[in-house]
Chain A
Amino acid sequence: MVGLPYDCLANPLGAVRLTFEKAVASGSEPALLDGKDWGAADLFRQFLFDDGGLSQVPFLKPSSITWVQPNTLVRFRGMIQDMLGNEYYVGAYKDGDTWRTNKFADASRCPMDDSSDMRIWERRLLYCVPVPGQSSWVEPSNEAMKNPYANSIALQREKRQREDHTPMADVDMAEPDHAQEDSPSSKKMREDGAALQQVTLQKSASEGKSSNSDLVGDVERNSFPCLVKIYDAPESDLKLNDVFEFVGIFTFDPDLTLDRDDTDDFCEDALVSLPPSKVPRLHCILHRKLVVNDFLPSPQLELTPCAIKEVREALLGHLASVLGNDRVAAQYLLLHLLSRVHARIDSIAVGKLSLNLTCFNKESMSVFGNHLKLAMENLLPFTQCLPLTVDYLNSVSLIPKKDYSTNRLVSGFLQLAEGSHLTIDETPIQTGTLNSMGCENARVLKNMMESQKVEYDFTYYKVEMDADVQLLVLSEGKSNILPADLVLPFRPSSVSSILGVDGEMLKAWRWYFAAMKTLPHSIEPHMQKVVEDDLVAARQADRSLGSQEFSRWLTMGRLMSVSFGETCLSMEHWQMVKELERLRKERLQGNL
Chain B
Amino acid sequence: MASDSPPANIHDGPSSPDEWPTSPISNTLSTPGGARRPKRGRRSSYATPPPVQSDSRFGTPDASQTPSSSDPQRRGRARRWSGTPNAAAATPSYTDDAPPSSEAGDGDDDEAPPMYVWGTNISVQDVNAAILRFLRHFRENPQQIEGKYMRAINHVIEMEGDSLDVDAHDVFDYDSDLYTKMVKYPLEVLAIFDIVLMDMVSRINPLFEKHIQARIFHLKSSTSMRNLNPSDVERMVSLKGMIIRCSSIIPEIREAVFRCLVCGYYSDPVVVDRGRINEPTVCGKQECLSRNSMTLVHNRCRFADKQVVRLQETPDEIPDGGTPHTVSLLMHDKLVDVGRPGDRVEVTGIYRAMSVRIGQTQRTVKSIFKTYIDCLHIKKADKSRMHVHDMMETENGASRSSDESTLDDEDQVERLKELSRQPDIYERLTRSLAPNIWELDDVKKGLLCQLFGGNALKLQSGASFRGDINILLVGDPGTSKSQLLQYIHKLSPRGIYTSGRGSSAVGLTAYVAKDPETGETVLESGALVLSDRGICCIDEFDKMSDNARSMLHEVMEQQTVSIAKAGIIASLNARTSVLACANPIGSRYNPRLSVIDNIHLPPTLLSRFDLIYLILDKADEQTDRRLAKHIVALHFEDPDSSQQDVIDLPTLTAYVSYARKHIHPQLSDEAAEELTRGYVELRRRGNFPGSSKKVITATPRQIESLIRLSEALARIRFSELVEKQDVVEAFRLLEVAMQQSATDHATGTIDMDLITTGVSASERMRRENLVSNTRNIIMEKMQIGGPSTRLLELLDELKKQSPASEIHLNDLRNALATLSSEGFVVVHGDSVKRV
Contact = CB atoms under 8 A, between A and B. Distances in A.
Given A89-B369, A117-B26, A235-B226, A551 B631 contact: yes
A262 B276 CA distance: 13
Contacts of A459: 244
B113 interface: no
Interface stretch (B42-50, B57-65, B508-516): B57-65
Interface in A451-470: 456, 458-463, 465-466
A83 B22 CA distance: 30
A268 B477 CA distance: 51
Interface string B341-378: 11000000000011000111000111111111000000
A6 B322 CA distance: 37
A224 B342 CA distance: 34
Interface of B: 22-23, 25-26, 29-30, 32, 61-63, 65, 67-68, 226, 229-230, 233, 242, 244-245, 247, 250, 308, 310, 312, 314-315, 318-326, 328, 341-342, 353-354, 358-360, 364-372, 434, 436, 477-478, 480, 483, 486-487, 617, 619, 621, 624-625, 627-632, 634-636, 639
Contacts of A116: 29
A460 B230 contact: no
Given A462-B315, A540-B621, 8 more contacts: A31-B22, A241-B321, A268-B308, A460-B342, A463-B324, A532-B625, A536-B628, A546-B477
A554 B245 contact: no
A220 to B, nearest CB: 24
Q: Give the residue among A102, A264, A343, A456 with the most B Cβ atoms within 10 A.
A: A264
A87 B247 contact: no
A531 B323 contact: no
Nearest to B625: A536
Contact of A547 (B65, B367, B370, B627): B627
Contacts of A458: 312, 315, 324
A262 B275 CA distance: 12
Contacts of A558: 635-636
B626 to A, nearest CB: 10
A335 to B, nearest CB: 14
A120 B353 contact: yes
Given A89-B367, A531-B628, A264 B63 contact: yes
List of 3 A-B pairs having minimum Cβ-Cβ separation, nearest first: A239-B321, A546-B478, A535-B628
Contacts of B366: 106-107, 255-256
B552 to A, nearest CB: 24
B332 to A, nearest CB: 14
A121 B358 contact: no
Contact of A466 (B22, B310, B321, B628): B321
A348 interface: yes
Contacts of A255: 358-359, 366
B621 A115 contact: no
Interface stretch (A58-66, A480-488, A505-513, A521-529): A521-529
20 contacts: A34-B230, A88-B353, A90-B367, A90-B368, A120-B25, A120-B68, A239-B320, A240-B323, A241-B321, A242-B321, A255-B358, A256-B366, A261-B360, A266-B354, A348-B634, A350-B635, A351-B635, A528-B632, A531-B632, A547-B627
A475 B80 CA distance: 80
A521 B636 contact: yes
B313 to A, nearest CB: 10
Given A34-B230, A460-B341, A266 B29 contact: no
Contacts of B341: 460
Given A265-B250, A521-B636, A550-B627, A88 B323 contact: no
Given A264-B62, A532-B625, A554-B632, A466 B320 contact: yes
Contact of A115 (B30, B359, B632, B634): B30
B319 A409 contact: no
Given A88-B371, A121-B230, A83 B322 contact: yes
A265 B322 contact: no
Interface in A375-420: 402, 404-405, 407, 409
Interface of A: 31, 34, 82-83, 85-90, 102, 105-108, 111-112, 114-122, 235-236, 239-242, 255-256, 258, 261-262, 264-269, 343, 345-348, 350-351, 402, 404-405, 407, 409, 456, 458-463, 465-466, 521-523, 528, 531-532, 535-536, 539-540, 543, 546-548, 550-551, 554-555, 558, 569
A117 B631 contact: no
Given A266-B308, A523-B636, A409 B368 contact: no
A546 B477 CA distance: 9
Contacts of B365: 112, 114
B252 to A, nearest CB: 11
A546 B631 CA distance: 10
B631 A266 contact: no
Contacts of A269: 370
B631 A550 contact: yes
A569 B636 CA distance: 10
A62 to B, nearest CB: 26
A121 B233 CA distance: 11
A404 B631 contact: no
Taking chain A's interface residues, is the majority helix, strand, or loop, or is none over half, making it mixed? mixed
A407 B326 contact: yes
Nearest to B308: A265
B625 A463 contact: no
A553 to B, nearest CB: 9
Contacts of B632: 523, 528, 531-532, 535, 554
Contacts of A118: 25-26, 29, 67
A265 B486 CA distance: 41
A122 B229 contact: yes
B628 A550 contact: yes
A460 B242 contact: yes
A497 B364 CA distance: 67
Given A85-B325, A261-B360, A543 B617 contact: yes
Contacts of B636: 521-523, 528, 554, 558, 569
A554 B635 contact: yes
Q: Give the residue among A120, A258, A461 with the most B Cβ atoms within 10 A.
A: A120
Contact of B319 (A86, A235, A350): A235
A240 B318 CA distance: 12
Given A543-B619, A547-B627, A554-B632, A115 B32 contact: yes
B641 to A, nearest CB: 12
A535 B624 contact: yes
Contact of A111 (B26, B67, B364): B364
A345 B436 contact: yes
Contacts of B326: 85, 407
B30 A265 contact: no
Contact of A347 (B244, B250, B483): B483
A120 B242 contact: no
B20 to A, nearest CB: 12
A119 B434 CA distance: 50
Contacts of B319: 235-236
A404 B310 contact: yes
B782 to A, nearest CB: 50
Nearest to A344: B639
Nearest to B370: A266
A347 B486 contact: yes
B531 to A, nearest CB: 16
Nearest to A568: B636
Given A122-B230, A543-B619, A546-B478, A83 B368 contact: no
Contacts of A31: 22-23
Q: Give the residue among A108, A112, A118, A265 with the most B Cβ atoms within 10 A.
A: A265
Q: Give the residue among A117, A121, A240 with the most B Cβ atoms within 10 A.
A: A117
B360 A262 contact: yes
Contacts of A85: 325-326
A539 B321 contact: no
A551 B634 contact: yes
Contacts of B371: 88
A347 to B, nearest CB: 6
B436 A540 contact: no
